[in-house]
Amino acid sequence: MLELLKTRRSTRKYKELPVAKTELDKILKAALLAPSGKNIRPLEFVVIEDKETLLKLETCKQPGAVALKTAPLAIVVIGDPEKSDTWIEDASIASVLIQLEAEALGFGSCWIQCNKRKSKTGENSEDAVRKILSIPAHYGVLSMIAIGHKDETLKAYDESNLDFTKVHYAKY
Ligand SMILES: Cc1cc2nc3c(=O)[nH]c(=O)nc-3n(C[C@H](O)[C@H](O)[C@H](O)COP(=O)(O)O)c2cc1C
């Protein structure tokens, strides 16, 4: 697990290769296995592979969601605030698990934030995404996770740089 966490970096440049259905299914299993507050599971996932739609989603974030310019796949993580008051936490955990499973399978990924963000035109990012994907108005849109075959190499994290002064034992 630590090795995976050290090598996972946000990939914003992808090769023009699709993510196979078998691999996508594994990533979706990770998303659906994510824990949630009171086990309510208020999340849903919108899988986007259509290039034109990916490029429309790219505009939903200021100054632009660079990763979506080349990614062959994005998973949009949405949650129902009417079902659970921990939907943001639940959606964050699912987003990270999607990224870690993608990394474990050898893919790169990048979290694109939608909650509390604006689109290129200044519109609320969540509204912009909901409109493009016909997501019902009451759903929150936490993130879009871009996934694909890496076309850039980013340096893995080094354990020796970890800031253990942020860890407090027994009391602050
Ligand atoms: C909550 C959250 C929001 C993020 N939003 C964006 C985003 O909108 N666009 C983007 O390109 N990267 C985004 N990222 C990726 C971060 O910029 C990245 O994780 C951070 O710079 C550390 O780099 P690393 O992922 O390579 O370790 C986000 C990451 C997190 C956890």
Q: Is residue 161 part of a domain?
A: no
Residue identifier of the C-alpha nearest atom 31 of ligand 1: 111
User: What pLDDT shows up at residue 42?
Assistant: 98
Q: Is residue 24 part of a domain?
A: no
User: What pLDDT shows up at residue 44?
Assistant: 98
Closest-lying ligand 1 atom to the alpha carbon of residue 114: 8
CA 112 – CA 126 distance, rounded (Å): 11
CATH of the domain at 132: 3.40.109.10
Q: Is residue 164 part of a domain?
A: no
Cβ(140)–Cβ(88) under 8 Å? yes
Q: Is residue 108 part of a domain?
A: yes
Q: Is residue 118 part of a domain?
A: yes
Site to probe by mutation for ligand 1, drawn from 4, 7, 9, 10 as the one with most ligand atoms within 8 Å of Cβ, is: 10
Q: Is residue 11 part of a domain?
A: no
Residue percentage of the chain with pLDDT more than 90: 99
Q: Is residue 104 part of a domain?
A: yes
The pLDDT tens digits of the residues spanning 101-136 come to: 999 999 999 999 999 999 999 999 999 999 999 999
* Total domains in the fold of the chain: 1
Domain region containing 95: 47-151
Q: Is residue 163 part of a domain?
A: no
The pLDDT tens digits of the residues spanning 10-28 come to: 999 999 999 999 999 999 9
Please report, as a single letter, which amino acid is at residue 59. T
